[in-house]
Structure 1
Amino acid sequence: MSGFGLSPTLPKPGSAPADRWGWFVALGIVQIIVGVLCWIDVTAASIAGVVILGVLLLIGGVFQIVHAFTMRGWSGFLLYVLIGILYVIGGLLLMEEPLRGSLIITIVIAVMLIVSGIARLIVAATHRHMQGLWLVILSGLVSFAVGIMLYASLPWSSLWVLGTLIAIELVFHGIAWLQFGFALKRSHRA
Structure 2
Amino acid sequence: METRHYEVSVESNLLNDIRHHTRWFTGLGIVFLVLGIAAIAFPFIAALSLEIAIGILFVVAGVAQAVHSFSVPRWAGFFPSLGLSALALIVGLLMLFYPLAGVITLTTLVAAFFVVTGTFKTAFALQLKPAIGWGLLLIGGLLSLALGLLILFWLSEAYTWVLGLLVGVDFIFTGIWMIALASSAKRL
The structural deviation recorded for 1:39 is 1.0
Normalised to the residue count of structure 2, the TM-score between the two structures is: 0.57
1:35 aligns with 36
Identity of aligned residues (%): 28
Alignment partner for residue 150 of structure 1, among 154, 164, 174? Answer: 154
Structure 1: 5+ residue stretches without partners: 1-15, 117-138
Checking the alignment, whether the CA contact within 8 Å between 1:46 and 1:102 is kept in structure 2 is yes
Q: Give yes or no for the alignment of 1:66 onto 2:70.
A: no
2:168 aligns with 167
Checking the alignment, whether the CA contact within 8 Å between 1:61 and 1:85 is kept in structure 2 is yes
The structural deviation recorded for 1:159 is 0.1
Checking the alignment, whether the CA contact within 8 Å between 1:106 and 1:157 is kept in structure 2 is no
Q: Give yes or no for the alignment of 1:49 onto 2:50.
A: yes
The structural deviation recorded for 1:181 is 3.6
Rounded Cα–Cα distance in structure 2 between residues aligned with 1:159 and 1:27: 28
The structural deviation recorded for 1:74 is 3.7
Paired residues for 1:1-190 under 5 Å: 18-106=19-107, 143=149, 147=152, 149-151=153-155, 154=156, 156-182=157-183, 185-186=186-187
SS of equivalent residue, structure 2 residue 76: coil
Checking the alignment, whether the CA contact within 8 Å between 2:108 and 2:151 is kept in structure 1 is no
Counterparts in 2 of 1:77 and 1:23: CA distance versus 1, 3 Å: same
Counterparts in 2 of 1:50 and 1:20: CA distance versus 1, 3 Å: same
The structural deviation recorded for 1:186 is 5.0
Counterparts in 2 of 1:146 and 1:106: CA distance versus 1, 3 Å: closer
1:3 aligns with none
Aligned length: 140
Rounded Cα–Cα distance in structure 2 between residues aligned with 1:84 and 1:49: 22
Higher helix residue share? 2
Checking the alignment, whether the CA contact within 8 Å between 1:49 and 1:163 is kept in structure 2 is no
Larger radius of gyration: 1
Cα RMSD (Å) of the superposition? Answer: 3.5
Counterparts in 2 of 1:36 and 1:91: CA distance versus 1, 3 Å: same
Structure 2: 5+ residue stretches without partners: 1-16, 117-144
The structural deviation recorded for 1:184 is 5.6
Counterparts in 2 of 1:183 and 1:58: CA distance versus 1, 3 Å: farther
SS of equivalent residue, structure 1 residue 166: helix
Normalised to the residue count of structure 1, the TM-score between the two structures is: 0.57
